[in-house]
Each structure stands twice: as C-alpha cells, then as structure tokens.
Structure 1
Amino acid sequence: MSVGGYFIRAVNLPRFWYYWAHFIDFQTYAFDLLTYNDFHGLVLACATLEDGSCFCDYPSSLIAQGQCALAGDDVLQNLQISGISFGLYTSILLIIALVYRVLLYVVLVFKKR
C-alpha cells in the first residue's frame, strides 16, 4: 500500500520506488479498480456553509452548474485514476498472482533439495 498510491500519491513517491515497486505492486491495480468502481458515476452531496456557500472535499465541476454536489468522476480525476481499463488491470492482477505462485513453487522446489 505504501507504493500503490493509497497513503502517498504515486507521483509523489521517490523516483526509485515509483519506477519499479509501484508497477509490480498488485495493490496499485486493485486500489485503482476498486476506487474507479466505487466513484464512477456517483454524485455526492457537499456541505452548505452558514453563509450559503458550498464546500466540497475535492474540486467539483458541479458547483459551476449551480449544484452543491461533488461528482465521483471529479474525485477520480483528482486522484489521477480516470481512464483506466478494467480488462487490462484485471489481466495485470491475474498475471502478478500467477508469477507470485510460480516463484513460490520454484522456491519450494529448491528448498526441498
């Protein structure tokens, strides 16, 4: 999770961690898929302050349209998760799981000898 973008955005990671650990971490792809699934197409209500102004946790494109709400796609855009491919990310997750299993099998075979 440390290099997957949950605690620290991936672009803010030190370059050493970003280029190899971020892209082989299965949690990177799982987090992006789950976040996209949860927020895509969702509209969240924002708080209305005492002076009548609207306060949202993320910048909202709906405020300009006169709604005191936050689109889930705005959250995804702010987290830089928009435009992901379910098929590609699912395939990457399956490949990572397969590689880990093969590596574990190889370790067990050599450990037995």
Structure 2
Amino acid sequence: MHKYGLHGWLKSTEGNAHILADILLRAAALMNTAKGCRLYIVSTDETDKNKIWITEVWDSVEDHANSLSVEGVKELISEALPILDGAPEKGQELTILGGFGID
C-alpha cells in the first residue's frame, strides 16, 4: 500500500494568513472530490503566524497532478498567488508506507 504524500507550507504576506488559510480550506473541500485524494489537511504554524501547512496523501503522483483539473482549483490558485510571500516552494515528497486512516 504505497501512497504518494506531500508535506509543505505556503507563507502569506503579513496579516493575510487567515485569507490564505480560507483559500486552502476551500481547496480541501474540492480535493474531497478529486480521484485518489486520501488526505488534505490545512494547519497553522504557532511559530510563524504567516505560514500555513498542507499535508496531502494521494493514491499516486498522477492523481495529485490530475487534481489541477478539478473545477475551481485553478481559480483558487489565482486567488492565493497575490497574497503569497514569495514563490511557493515544492513540498517534501513522501512515499507513504502505511498507517492509520489513509486506506
């Protein structure tokens, strides 16, 4: 049961973390309909109030790539870009070996 995982963060410009978090939570709702998405978690960072963490588990890297075609995703990306503090960095890619709650 190998799955594809991503763990990373986006940083908002000062004072816009709540807006970025809202955008990512709306993305999470869309990912609930995406083929192969097992987990999409949005979290705040207590050490940096402008960072929002995203943890994802997918059946495959292809399913993750195809999630960009889910209706509404590109619009959310366009909404987030102006409030990001710098270009997004690629998250840490993980091979999920197993665990609880991702089957």
TM-score scaled to structure 2, two decimals? 0.25
* Larger relative contact order, structure 1 or 2 (CA cutoff 8 Å, min sep 6): 2
Q: Which has the higher strand share?
A: 2
